[in-house]
Structure 1
């Protein structure tokens, strides 16, 4: 084991100082960013890199600067604007959360984690992160990056456990500064350290501000206890679902089921931008049963709806 809670003040000083000098300049970190902007960023950043989130977040905030602005539009517009960020159910959750904020909280983002947890699709991590970063509250924020820093620096492990456990939460609580402002800075700093330096595959130990305290380095950088499973994509139901969603986002109106299921001979999809996603879908050569399964899943998840005229994004 490396430095424990008794050495926490030194860890706080060194990691927060590093963050002050090295933090990325991100719009949701700016002083003038609204709690809604921070809320949207937290949902978008789940399992999605910052570089992909940035342009979508900026377009989203320009179009829907408040929860009420989003709630006033159909949920299908949220799905359309989500683009190719992946896991589009997050767009529906954002729309549902905006609707709840408008109806139950006067159009504002609730300030406490307990209130945030009442919103549709908001879990423990998101509630803690928004309460911390948007409202300066002392909350224990634990994401994958934070878990990895804790596992290496304090636990001497190459990677955290496959799933968050009680021991990790106890350590995170013990390491959290008592002061509200310092706790917010600590949450952001450790998260950034994990994202930029203490990365999963190629950690930059030589520039780590707590290298000399790191239990993992002191132990000789032992290998992980397990091999993380990579997420496949090609040929999966997720790939087919994403291709169908691309067709529905681009379409000017409902799309006939027969067009989605094919086979379809597209002579020149480049001549009509609306045909390009359809051509890409058919280029996958997905089996009919997989296409049907993808359509059924999208309908069940309410990411699409079927009318007499065809399939479309939710109205």
Structure 2
């Protein structure tokens, strides 16, 4: 019996050790990256996923910032466009990537602070991503077709009151920042408009210029050429302060809607679980890159303002914006169907 007991105990011990070793294999594989820490990072090229097609604001921003980070850190930053499902595919890819600092994402406000409240079956959760730094904010401007003969926001609100449910506002898609801004305008001004969603900014702008829709909240970079050509009339900037590009156009808040603000922004994020020291290093390098006057000037031509800040500050912004837009989505019964 004693011999049997010893054999049984030995077998149990062997199985326990084997189980522990097997469980530790993933951690052992990840150990070099953890041990390397911020001091040796980056030791290989970094992939920056842009969840949209090349040529758009997120892509341009990712490439400009990526070039700066590459120079600062002495390692290549490779921009990888993973478009699809309004950014969901690319963001989900990063959320599921190894948390070693070598996979990052340019994440717009919609994909981190809006879609979780709109899409119950979203494949990732905000908690699956770790904040690094705010990259930039993008100004939105309310524009109308010249055929409306509207010259100011008050003109538009009076017209909307006279024709409830008849004026239309375009957006590049349901749940987009342009859509939410239009819903916010209806709520704050107590008017009724009709939302007309399109599949992208380009067709929406085309129909707005052509007079098929009345108005649109558009990023300044998309609307500015038409404003300069006299094809669209800017009624108000959706930011807290006036735009340096359109200094004579008042904010919407200045024109009787003091709480109105609908700003697009883009954040640099990593997979959750990325070591805090790597996040801090990336954040500091990103902020230094964004402080470059030449980069600020380049972003300014796109209607963007360089941002920066710590991971903690970005986390606070995401939390605040998530609560604000989730509240609007509930109150306005917004869906993406």
TM-score (norm 2): 0.27
Q: Which has the higher helix share?
A: 1
Higher relative strand content: 2
TM-score (structure 1 length as normaliser): 0.29
